[in-house]
Homo-oligomer: A and B are copies of this chain.
Amino acid sequence: MSQGRTAYDAKLESILRAAAVVFAEKGYHQASIRDIARATGVSLAGLYYYFQSKEELLFLIQHHAMSRLIAGLEPRLRYARDPREKLRILIDNHLRFFVDNMAEMKVLSHEAKSLTGEFRSHVESQKRQLTNIARQILREVEPNSTLDERVSAFALFGMMNWLYVWYRPGRDADVDRLVHDMTEIFMGGFVRSRGRNPELQLAFGTA
């Protein structure tokens, strides 16, 4: 971790991690600060040293996760030149982060509307930032795409973010397989057999 990381940061991070699991399992509205105290081993008074309300805790989890996700992506993109390579990096970064932070990613999706006011608009702007990075990459990959850009970007995020509904770590495909298969599907499509595209059929002269 960075040199500036203090004991406060480290403690906060461990609280956010444990609280994300509680919110992911019980749901934000059903979970109490008492549940969080139990899961973190920090007293109620101790917890209020780090945040002032359950909603601020939810905000910190979401903000921290989005910040880390984007902070991991940007330096990797900086050294990529080929747009398709950037798209691969985006998918790779997102899925690896997702699998390592399943609880946080579930909370980001499932409890998006549980935040209100400034908290919500801040996290929404972080999400918009990521969506805009993706849209920019899609434009670079296919400057003349006939596909709707917003539909394409959210098709990609939907494909990836749906993980929180179905993915069982340790039982399903591992993260390398996930990255490979989802990159293949989004970039090149599920259908690979010859003959899927009449023009290609003609070009190859085979069916």
Contacts and interface: CB of A to CB of B under 8 A. Distances in A.
Copies of this chain held together in the complex: 2
A110 B147 CA distance: 28
A157 B152 contact: no
Given A151-B173, A151-B178, A154-B165, 20 more contacts: A84-B196, A87-B191, A145-B192, A147-B184, A151-B172, A152-B181, A154-B162, A154-B163, A154-B167, A155-B181, A156-B190, A157-B162, A158-B163, A159-B162, A161-B162, A185-B189, A186-B189, A187-B196, A188-B191, A188-B196
A14 interface: no
B141 A190 contact: yes
Contact of A159 (B87, B158, B192): B158
8 A-B pairs closest in CB distance: A158-B162, A189-B189, A188-B189, A155-B159, A148-B173, A187-B191, A151-B181, A158-B159
Interface residues on A, range: 35 or more
Given A109-B165, A162-B157, A204-B203, A152 B187 contact: no
11 contacts: A84-B191, A84-B196, A142-B190, A150-B166, A151-B172, A155-B159, A155-B186, A161-B162, A162-B162, A186-B189, A189-B189
